[in-house]
Structure 1
Amino acid sequence: MTRIITAIEPQKKDPKRVNIYLDDEFAFGLAGYLAVWLKVGQVLTQEKINALTSDDLLESTVHKALHFLSFRPRSVSEVRKNLAGRDIPENAIEVTITRLQENSFLDDLKFAQDWVANRKDFRPCSRSALQMELRLKGIPDDVIQTALDDVDDDVLTLQAARKYAHRLTGLNKLEFRKKLSAHLARRGFSFASINPIVMLAWNEIQSAFDHGASNNNEDNSWTL
């Protein structure tokens, strides 16, 4: 079965797309660049029509995925779920994901490594908490393990303690230990690692306070 192109018109809402009319009836829309070689009077086979609409679907799916990725990095699973929620055929989704991976727009290992690095710098949490967060993002277990290869829970516990401890200055030792321990527990750290780190943080706070007090006394000794 063949059909004849009787009109090619730009879309009003999106001038980068065109409407294709076959035998004086609207047939389908196409991305402008896909319609460059089409002209009025051209005969299209059903096979050619299927190829054009398939290419257009893929183009549209890629644009939707890139828009989703423009807000922040995403995992493969996040992109797949987002596209599936738009009722896009599975084969178009998988071809799109492959294309994005080939062009470095999607990379689960880099996503996981960046996630871990960000957590270390801004919101330290335990190795097990990081593992859970990455699983919720759909990252495969083997990729998670690679991303966590250099993660040391003791180091993370100390980082998290130091970031929070400055909020607790002025508290007595008991209140300091209670509040900092609770904070670290919420971040997923084990009590075995929390206790010595809390004491270390307390000693650091006291040392800094004593050092500051000593400097103030030295400054005052020169005042007559």
Structure 2
Amino acid sequence: MSVYIDDEFAFGLSRQVAGWLSTGQELSDEKILELQEVETREKAYQRALNFLSYRPRSEAEVRRNLIKHDTPEDCIEETLERLRDLDLVSDQQFAETWVENRSTFRPRGRRALFSELRAKGIHNKTIDVVLQDLDEDDLAYRAAQKKVRQYRGLAWPEFKKKMLGFLARRGFNYSVAAPVIEKVWSENQPDPADKYNT
């Protein structure tokens, strides 16, 4: 809604804020400032809700988005507080959802998940809590199972090298990857014991 003062456009207001006004209402300078402040806060909140509508976000992601749109710091804090109160933003829930989705669709190791969550602005303590029960052996096995078809027909040394590189890029340490590679090799070769004559 557009607000006109003395028949000249003064500023725009969202419907939520404009609902407080009526046509012909006289506005003091203090009331105008109050309306503009409320509008700034409401825009920040609506922008954050829209940003969250695409996928879950960490607090740091929401903050960066609001900063990118030149939102004043006090509005950012108020917006984050409102979102927390409504349970719309929670770094703990975000991290749990992130790990669950990664584990289901693109298995990653602890190292990669830690790095991804840090990039999203999650604190180390929260990450440690979320990753404490992570079964890296199972995740590495599932990741290797998805890749094994591409490496079928390779000799053991080449298979091991390629699979080790793949699992390392997915954030798995050698101590996790090596036994998984042995297992996947033995499950997918006609004569798994004959590693060096393939």
TM-score, scaled to structure 2: 0.87
State yes or no: 1:45 paired with 2:21.
Answer: no
State yes or no: 1:125 paired with 2:94.
Answer: no
Distance 1:174 1:40, change over 3 A: closer
Quick one: which amino acid aligns to residue 61 of structure 2? Answer: E
CA distance in 2, matches of 1:39, 1:193: 68
Report Cα offsets for 1:113-146 as digits up to 9, x if no partner.
1111111112112101111110000011121112
CA distance in 1, matches of 2:19, 2:116: 46
State yes or no: 1:172 paired with 2:166.
Answer: no
**Partner of 1:147 in structure 2?**
130
**Partner of 1:91 in structure 2?**
74
* Runs of 5+ unmatched residues, structure 2: 192-198
**Partner of 2:86 in structure 1?**
103
Quick one: which amino acid aligns to residue 50 of structure 1? Answer: L
Report Cα offsets for 1:54-100 as digits up to 9, x if no partner.
11111211221222222222111011111101111111111111112
CA distance in 2, matches of 1:152, 1:37: 55
Q: 1:200 aligns with which of 178, 183, 195?
A: 183
Residues paired across the two proteins, number: 191
CA distance in 1, matches of 2:22, 2:180: 73
CA distance in 2, matches of 1:198, 1:99: 48
CA distance in 2, matches of 1:37, 1:63: 18
**Partner of 2:166 in structure 1?**
183
Distance 1:170 1:35, change over 3 A: same
SS in 2 for 1:21: strand
CA distance in 2, matches of 1:40, 1:198: 73
Name the stretch that deviates more: 57-66 or 109-118.
57-66
- Give, in angstroms, the shift of residue 166 of structure 1: 2.7
Name the stretch that deviates more: 28-37 or 80-89.
28-37
Quick one: which amino acid aligns to residue 82 of structure 2? Answer: R
State yes or no: 1:19 paired with 2:2.
Answer: yes
After superposition, where does 1:28-39 map in structure 2 within 5 Å?
Answer: 28-39=11-22
Contact 1:127 1:152 in 2 (8 A): no
CA distance in 2, matches of 1:37, 1:192: 64
Q: 1:114 aligns with which of 84, 97, 100?
A: 97
Report Cα offsets for 1:29-73 as digits up to 9, x if no partner.
111232234234433233322221111111211221222222222
TM-score, scaled to structure 1: 0.78
SS in 2 for 1:158: helix
**Partner of 2:64 in structure 1?**
81
RMSD over equivalenced CA pairs, Å: 1.8
Runs of 4+ residues deviating >3 angstroms: none
Quick one: which amino acid aligns to residue 113 of structure 1? Answer: E
SS in 1 for 2:27: strand
Q: Percent identity?
A: 46
* Runs of 5+ unmatched residues, structure 1: 1-17, 211-224
